[in-house]
Amino acid sequence: MKFKQSATTGELSNQKRETPYWRTSPLLNILLIVIVVPCVVVLIVSLFVGANYINTFNGKKECAVVYGAAVWQGDRPSHALTDRIMAGVDLYNNAQVSCLVLSGSQVPGRMHEVEMMKKIAMGKGIPESAIREDHNGINTLATLRNLPKGVDGFVMVSNDFHLARIRMLSKKVGLEGVALHAAPYRHTRYIKEPMFFFREVAAVIYYSSIL
């Protein structure tokens, strides 16, 4: 009987010694949660953003929604703005859409993004009657909320790294059947693209948490 008790005590001692340290350390568990969980979230969202890069619209919708981008000093369109509006112009000229919804905002002292896009579009032969303007598109969510009513379908036009946020927010505001179109790069990919990519990752995480 004493032998059995001794064996049992020994087994318990071995179990204690074999218990992983992380299972008995509250501090380590907290560090794992604080470090590992955010890393996993960022990885998953990064994959989501990357998965939306390849979106080329080949169908037909009533309107193309062109998202604004920076206007540089001297009232010069940034490469992103040029790429986006020219993609919208191409969709119109290919008879894939019958109107362009230009949405953007303004930095004090510079031309409004919408006015810049409208100037470029009309310079390429788009009639003013085919252009609708949203001067209060201060961000992606505002653009979606400001969309004109009674339109039979939209295709969202922006840079590839921006499309994941547009897709996610379109669902959040209840827009159905929204198509996406990645604006081709007419010059080269942007030097700041890594920053833009992780900005979109942060935006998707932020909007997912508040909407």
| pLDDT tens track, the chain, 211 positions | 444 444 455 554 555 556 665 556 777 777 777 888 889 999 999 999 999 999 999 999 999 999 999 999 999 999 999 999 999 999 999 999 999 999 999 999 999 999 999 999 999 999 999 999 999 999 999 999 999 999 989 999 999 999 999 999 999 999 988 999 999 999 889 999 999 999 999 999 999 998 8
Tell whether 56 is covered by a domain: no
Residue 141 amino acid letter: L
Domain count within the chain: 2
3-state helix, strand, coil in the chain (%, to 5): 55, 15, 35
**CA nearest neighbour of 52 among 182, 157, 188:** 182
pLDDT at 2: 47
pLDDT at 37: 86
Say whether both 139 and 202 belong to one domain: yes
Tell me the C-alpha distance between 79 and 89, whole Å.
15
Say whether both 74 and 26 belong to one domain: no
Say whether both 7 and 71 belong to one domain: no
pLDDT at 187: 86
Asked whether the CA dihedral 64, 183, 168, 143 is positive or negative, the reply is negative
**CA nearest neighbour of 94 among 181, 189, 166:** 181
Tell me the C-alpha distance between 93 and 194, whole Å.
32
What values do phi and psi take at 107, rounded to 5? Answer: -90, 130
Tokens read off for 186: 């007419």
Tell me the C-alpha distance between 175 and 208, whole Å.
16
Q: What is the CA radius of gyration of the chain?
A: 26
pLDDT at 14: 52
Say whether both 100 and 193 belong to one domain: yes
Quote the domain boundaries for residue 199: 63-210
Residue 115 amino acid letter: E
Alpha-helix residue ranges (DSSP H) falling in the chain: 2-18, 26-51, 79-93, 113-123, 140-145, 163-172, 193-210
Tell whether 108 is covered by a domain: yes
Say whether both 103 and 162 belong to one domain: yes
Say whether both 90 and 139 belong to one domain: yes
pLDDT at 34: 80
